[in-house]
Amino acid sequence: MIKQPFDVVIVSDFSGPASRRFEIMTLFFLASWLEFGGDSRDLPLHIACIGDPPESVRTLGERCSARFSTHTPLLFGGFANKLRGFEIQRETDHILLLDSDMLILSDISGLSTAVGSDCIAAATANGLGLNSTARWRDIHESLGLAYPDGHTIPLSLQLDTYECANYRDCKLNELAPYYNGGIIYAPWESSLGDVWRDHLIRISEIDPKRSSNQPSLATAIHELQLKGIKFRLLPDEYHVRWQHISTGAVRSRDIKLLHTIGFGGRESSGDTAKQDIKKYRLHTLKQTFKLRSHRSLRERLAHYLGMHIEVREWFCIYDTLQLLYTSYVRELE
């Protein structure tokens, strides 16, 4: 029996032009749940659908004993829709809210033990989001919040990836903490969903062009911390991104949750479902070939020609996606 169960929730948008891509990502997530979930499969799994789910998702979801709920788009849609995940019929005391482009690659039932049941947990963002201290201060002031003392180091800088040059000259100690919204763990009683939604609405009013839900996530967590709710960073293995693999920070065998980060480009009206599925599998593999492009050409060539373990690791991930495709997704194509 799982000591501290939690509701696992993904939100998929089947109502708009990206519906097929959400279908593909959701199918791969469900396939990974069945193939690698282990004891996690005893956790209540919820699929919050924006619009009606396609038959393929219902079919595979039923094999996972998933609970389906249907919702309309929230506010301006897009990233805002994720907050619909807080509207599901809760069955436990905690929620694990996931992006739909996530894969479960081993048992995650020990998450509550890993981070504690008394806190909110998330991972640092890849980048800065808002690279202007003045902008961050304006947002906090508009929300009536004291500016935070702490800061986070963007993952790409922390792991010295190809993007790190974007952040080397930033005054990190002056920038507010910023988190990746792909995986959020929280006690239901923390009211994170309500505070996050409130901040999203208020930030969108002062900055209409900012559609991301991550600035409002950061400020919501800060407000709740000021009220005494604890926050902890997720262990790396519970939110693995391509940066972890391409730098050797996490081995594929240790991954709990992998954030694939989608398709790598806009959807083309001429693409078939099979072509989109191939794009999804290949995009994860392609990320590694951007590895540390600030290095010299000689260093990059030596890395690739030597087939370093980081490169081989990405082929392991690609093989995993291929396994999920042939075992579960292809029959629903």
pLDDT in tens, 204-234: 888 776 667 899 999 999 999 999 999 999 9
For residues 148 and 137, give the distance between their C-alpha atoms in angstroms, rounded to a whole number.
9
Higher-pLDDT residue of 133, 239: 239
Query: Which of left, alpha, beta for 47 (phi over 0: left; psi -120 to 50: alpha)?
Result: beta
For residues 254 and 264, give the distance between their C-alpha atoms in angstroms, rounded to a whole number.
25
Q: Where are the domains of the chain?
A: 1-129+179-192+232-333
Q: Write out pLDDT tens, residues 46-55.
A: 999 999 999 9
Contact 127, 163 (CB under 8 A): yes
Indicate the burial class of 268 (C-beta count within 10 angstroms; 0-12, 13-18, 19 or more). Answer: exposed
Q: Write out pLDDT tens, residues 106-133.
A: 999 999 999 998 999 999 988 776 666 7
For position 168, what pLDDT does the model report? 59
Is the domain spanning 1-129+179-192+232-333 CATH 3.40.50? The answer is no
Is it the case that residue 60 has pLDDT exceeding 90? yes
Is it the case that residue 293 has pLDDT exceeding 60? no
Mean pLDDT is lowest, of 69-83, 84-98, 295-309, for 295-309
pTM: 0.91
For position 211, what pLDDT does the model report? 63
